[in-house]
Structure 1
Amino acid sequence: MVDRSKFNAEDFLVDSTFQQYCAGTDKLCIGYWEKYINAHPEQAEVIAEAKKLYVILSGNKRQLNTQVENFKDQLFPKEKKVVRINRYLWLKVAAAIVVVAGSALLYLSYYNFKKNEPTREIFTWATKSGERKKIRLQDGTSVILNAKSALSIINGFNRETREVNLVGEAYFDVVHNKDKPFQVHTSDFNINVLGTAFNVKSYPDEVTSEATLIRGSITMEAVDGNGGLITLKPSQKVTFYKNID
């Protein structure tokens, strides 16, 4: 029997039965988790956070059932604020952080852009379709890598800098370090944080990139430099539309 009494939100999220409960796809899982939640009110807050993360990581992939849509209605207010930056459109919408990265080609080329530096070893985590993977980086940052995604770091991560590159989608809970800001690089834009919780989404075959902030604050800048810096606060989401004429 799995002891879930010390689970955090990330632990719940990678539990396959919890995922089926949130998706409403298995009656046994739904019944089990409803009983579990009633029996463990002390975990209500962390379970609620796990549900929110499920909506963020799953809401853009497929239509969710009524139960999850109710969670989504609570997370995403109806009112939208739209700001145009040159040929890119950023939408302020939500209550977490989702950033969409870019193509695998650009993802790999990021590590080769400093041509005057010697080649350094790259560590990569990857997930298959329908798989989620929990990762803990050397600095203590927790990452949940969503399906069909890849996360890479250079050997020496956290010595002088904390930089990662993403293709696909991932949720980050970043350990605060004012001397080493945490950076997420995508083909569309870069994100800088000190310590916060956010989700980054970037699939090469999708036309949008997104960033949704849960707590803390982050700054974002398009890779081509257009539009300047954008600062996100909790309960804000940015959507980046690619290749808009």
Structure 2
Amino acid sequence: MIETSLKNSILSITLNRPEKYNSFTEPMALELQEALKDAGRDEVRCVVLRANGKAFCAGQDLPEVVERAEKEPDYELADTVQTTYNPIIRAIRSLEKPVVCAVQGTAAGAGANIAFACDIVIASDQAEFVQAFSKIGLIPDSGGTFFLPRLAGLARSNAMYLLDEKLSARKAVDWGLIYKAVDSEELDDEVRDIAQKLASMPTKGFGLYKRAVNRSFDHTLEQQLNLEADLQSEAGKTDDYKEGVAAFLEKRKPEYKGR
């Protein structure tokens, strides 16, 4: 259900349940969690999350939770949220390497919110984003109530959830939810070029940047300024920083090693 491959320091993680629009079962989610954990290896300098088939991800496989509720009297939806989706979002945000998401088709529910949690999202102009929770009486999970208001603003976040409207990739760019929308035939090339660029850049600095951004959500300005100073000191001790400065002074292209 999850395929992985490592090439040129880029770990590709592919959702591979196309016959079910890549909707998540618990085993599939656990496989994705393991793949994201594996991305912590030194050999990996960039992660690409993508999917096979027409849809990127339709969110939760509803028959699974219905069947589980019938079999387990004490089962609650919180059990699925805590074991399936929350670890995925935490892994994406805590991974101190860039995570690029390639959305080739519909991203619905948790599928949309997993995409929004990634660092850079590139979508085909055929892709659509929809929250899909309100029509079955649920709230957005997988960080939806966290990322949507921060990325798109409260008014747009409210409308996207309450009205359950599909959002085109182009409009998702306009709303600040994703980075770029490209023609469908250009998606793979665009994602490859961005991933290759990221994998050749100063990985440790990217990781410290993500750490700073994550903390900014609950920091005061004073706290964030102090954190920036601390992390800048840490960045200044990396081999990548030394190489970047040396390359600048020697007027040559830097060769970063991600250390």
Alignment TM class, shorter chain as reference: under 0.3
Q: Which has the higher strand share?
A: 1
**TM-score, length-normalised on structure 1?**
0.26
Which fold has the larger relative contact order, with Cα–Cα distance below 8 Å and residues 6 or more apart in sequence? 1
Question: Computing the radius of gyration over CA atoms, which structure comes out larger, 1 or 2?
Answer: 2
Q: TM-score, normalised by structure 2?
A: 0.25
> Hey, which of these two has a bigger chunk of helix by percent?
2
